[in-house]
Each structure stands twice: as structure tokens, then as C-alpha cells.
Amino acid sequence: MQMRRSSLAVVLLLLFVMASPLYSNDVRATEGRSSTATTLTYIGEATSVQLVGEWDWDAALEMNNSSGIWSVDVELTEGLYCYKIVVDGTYLFDPSNPERAFCDGIENSLLRVDDHLRPHYTASLAEHHLHITYHAGSTGAPHDGTPVALSGATWDSLTSTWNLSLEGLADGKHSLKIEGVDTNGNVAYDLLVPFWRGPHASFVWEDALIYMVMTDRFVNGNQSNDGLATGAAQGADWQGGDFAGVTQMIQSGYFSNLGVNALWLTPFNAAANGTGKAADGVHDVSAFHGYWPTQAREVEPRLGTEEELHAMVEAAHEGGIRVMMDFVVNHVHEDHEYFQNNPEWFNSGCICGQENCDWTEHRLDCQFTSYMPDLDWKNRNASEQFIADALWWMEEYNLDGARIDAVKHVENLAVSNLVAQINERFETVGNDVYLKGETAMGWSGHSLEDNQAQYGAINDYMGPDGLDGQADFVLYHAVVDNVFVSGNENYQHLDYWTNRSQDQYTPGSLMVPYVGSHDVSRFTSRADTGTGDAYNQWAEDGLPGQPGDVSAYHAALQAYGWLLTTPGAPLLYYGDEYGEYGGADPDNRHMYRDASQWSEHEASLFENISELGQLRL
């Protein structure tokens, strides 16, 4: 998100690139260098400042002082390097660089060095003109011709800048990829320039209403891609929802009528075939949800084709709707290509939630299940590959943001490095990418002091160099059931904890409050006084049916009346707009039902929530 990009107080003349030949990623950052040396700078009062790095840890380089600005030039070949600044004998991370890496088990700042021979571009956007400036490599060779994406642009030789008029460009999102070579044949680092034109260019994420789509459970728009049954338990198998179905709903105006202007879809990756055991060790469940990926850059065929995914995103953009993908960064399925080919990239540990393996205390070393290997973000090859894959999905499918799954279970560097690379690649001219995390925490009772650990864990991953926001778990657990379901707490309690979400999180963070999600029983079932089955998972235990009492829908309307008038970017879980019922996962993931299947109470709830959603636009 543009507001989160770091404002560097220190000039660090580096190129942030993926340099190792291990990576198939061709995404490059926009900064470069025109000399053979890489210059590092530190600002601050000190007696001595030195630079040490992976190129030669035993040879500290003295940094030269000029009025409190310390600098040194280092001749380095293209690649990635660990380093630290040594200030009066104390080893420090580079305060100007948020990226980190582990070398020999020790955390360091991460330096990305480019090939000094290769030119690069920078961009700026002013009203109806796009300005692309050419920066020669160390040879000083001029650019060879005009980049194809800048056809029709005028060239200013004094500033080495192309000026492209955007007059007449269609409304919607555009992404130009600037590519070229210099007259010596050196290939320039490409520059991606995403931007919006027309009325939807004024969108800000503070005004977003995010709708979560569990793609397989939404709308079946193409029955030819429906997979075979896996033998999973009732409610835990694939049910046919797909990208084509989402596209149909976009084009029908369904989301716009709800006031929805951002979609978060569950992961697109090819997912595991067959089944795995649920947490109870008894029931078989399938990978319909997408959180068991097996391929890094392959679209799940049961959700559709690459072309259908492109068409879905394009339809959303035509309607002014932003699209967010769900990135799984903590784990893979045991059949994943990376686990098969690079098992050293993964940790093994206790199973989260089992005895002596608390979800929070062991958040960095526990596994969700035995068949879901846990990624070791301290392994630089692994971390760089996962970031490269995230950038690939963002660029290939022209996405506008991302939800980062299970943030609580990864090293902080997973977030800082990913954020730095996404912002560098996709926010070149003010395009605003929103990055939302999931740090699952709770509520520790009425004392604000007792809740500092809850807020703190969520805040750890946000900030100027971190995520733009996270799901507001503390607020959810404090108020949703306590106020709107049981009535154990009153509106003063609601007001107090709603306001705490404005002053307890990292300043500038855009939180995502919610009433329902794919991880909890459906709200109307929890609010239904006529059932005791709301928290059951499996058919043999008894599952909640459609509420017959209007009070459940009244409670839902109150909850959503609060949610849709609360600061932040609220989340609407698919089906909650009409009060879908269901028990615990997987029963909270019923197939979406269209209006022809709604009861009178459900239709009324939908109408009211739609009106509230429209007020946010």
C-alpha cells in the first residue's frame, strides 16, 4: 500500500533484484546504479562506523564521515549479501533497509546488488501524462530506440525522459511494462507501471468493503472443470465453484449492488488431490479451500483455466473492483514440488494445538498437520523463491492486493521482505497495493492491560515497512458474540472495544473488522436460539439448519449495521449478506445459494445489508 512505503532517510544506492540463477522469477525492481560500485550510507553521530558483509566478514570496511553522513563504496558482483553496520563497536541492522536475511543462523540486513552494466527506468505520473526516465548503466550507453509500451511518446534528450500522453485512454486499470536495451546490447531492468484511469482511480482502501470468496463454494459457472469426488466427509469435498462463476456474479452487478469494491479470493494454486485427515484424526477432508498448495505457479484446474482467471480479474477491473489473492506463506502440502525437490527448505516440529505445542508459544516451529511441511524462512533460497512466486502471481494476473495467510507462524523477515519487494514492483506511480495479514489472536477479558499481548502480536507485523493491516481478531472476539449473539455485554462494551481498535494498533494501519469468516461457525446459527448445534462440524453430530426464528436475522442486521459503519476496511464473508447458516468448518462453507433459494428473512437481510454497503461507496 503506497502509504506504507518506507521513506528512506538514508540514501542506499542499491538495486533490489532477484539475482540468483536459482530463481525463475524475472521480476526486477526499479532502482539501479550507474557506477561499478555499490554505495552504502549511514546517518548518525558516532566515533566510528564500519561495514561488514558476507563478501568478507573478516574485513571490516571503514565508512567515511562527512557531517554525520557515513558512506563507503563496495565493488560487488550481482547477487544477494548479508551485511551489518557496526557503530562504535555495536552491530546494527541497516536502519534504511527493511529487508533481512539469515547467514550462518544470524539475522542480518539483506543487500541486493544488480549488474552495473544494465540500465534501468523510473516513472512518475502527472495528471494525463506518464513520464519514464532512462538511467544508463555504468558504460553510459544510450537507449536503443523507444520501448514498445511507450509507442507514441515524445523524447526529451536533456532529461532522458519519454513523455506519454494518457488522454483518450480507457477508464479502468492499465499496466505498462517498460522494456528495452542500450546501444551496447545490455538489457535494461524492466519497469512495471500499474495505474488506474477514470472514476475508479480515486479509490482508497479506507473506503473498501472486502468480500471474501471461497471460490469452490461460490458459483459453478463452468461444470466442465468439476473434479471427481475424493471420498471426503460430508461438506469437505469439492463442490464446483470456479472463476467463471465469480465472473458471472461480477458482470451481473451482484457485488456492486452490495457496495463491494474489493474481492479476496482463496488461493489460486494447484491444490492437493485426494484427502487428508482433519484435526480430529478421523474425518477425511479435501483441499477445496486452496490452503494445501502443490504447485508454485500453476492454477488449480478445478477452479478454472489461466484464461478464466484473467477474464475474472479483467471483469472486476472493468467494474472498478479490486482483486486480492490469498498467499500461503507458512506451509505447503507434502506433494508440493518444492518439498519434493528441496526438503531442506522446510522445518519439522510438533503439531500445532497438541499437548505442549501451543499455537502461540510454538507459532514459529509447529506444523499445522503432519502432511503440511512448514517453510523455513531463515533459508534464503526458500524465502527468495516464495517471494518471487508471490510477485509472479501479482504481475501475471494484475492483482491489486493480497491477504497473507498465517502470518503469525512465519518469521518477521517473511513480511518485511515480501512487502518491500511488492511495493517496489507495483507502486511505481502511486498504485495502491493493500497487504492484509492473518495473525490469529484472541481477547483476554475486560482489562486493556491484559490484552497488550494480543494487540502486540498483531502489531509485530505492521508498520512503515510491514503489512498495511490485519484482520481485527481482538475486536471480533471482544464484541461479536458477547454483544450481538449472547447479549452478555451492552453497547458501552461495544463502543469501548471498537474505539480501542483506533488507538491500540500501529498508527496508519488499516484494520479489517469482521463478523463472519471461513474459520468460525456462521453468525445466524450462533445467534439462533432454536439450535444447540452451531459449533458442530460433522453430520453425525447434528448440524444446524436454517433458522426459523427472525431473531437470528435481527441479530445479524445489528451486527452488520455496526460493522459497515465502523472505521477500517470491513470484511463480508460470502453468504453472510443473506444470513447463510452452518456449524464449524467445514459446515460453515456451504455452497452459495442464489436469491431463488432464500427465505423471506434472508431476502430482507440481504436488502438491508446492500443498502448499508452502498452507503460506504
pTM of the predicted protein model = 0.94
Give pLDDT, residue 24: 33
For position 17, what pLDDT does the model report? 30
Q: Which three cell numbers stand for residue 505?
A: 494498533
Residues of the chain with CATH 2.60.40.10: 2-113
Per-residue model confidence (pLDDT) at position 12? 33
What is the chain's Cα-based Rg?
A: 25
Among 3.40.1550.10, 1.20.1290.10, 2.60.40.10, 3.40.1390.20, name the CATH number for the domain at 2-113: 2.60.40.10
pLDDT score at 8: 31
- In this prediction, residue 548 carries a pLDDT of 86
How many CB atoms are located within 10 Å of the residue 453 CB?
12
- The 3-state secondary structure of 24-58 reads CCCCECCCCCCCCCEEEEEECCCCCEEEEECCCCC
Location of C-alpha cell 445489528: 558
Q: What is the per-residue pLDDT for 33? A: 62
User: 401-405 and 434-437: which strand pairing?
Assistant: parallel
Q: Are 255 and 614 in contact (CB under 8 A)?
A: no
- What CA–CA distances, in Å, run from 129 to 124, 165, 190, 266? 9, 5, 20, 36
Low-confidence ranges of the chain (pLDDT < 50): 2-30
> Of how many residues is the chain composed?
617
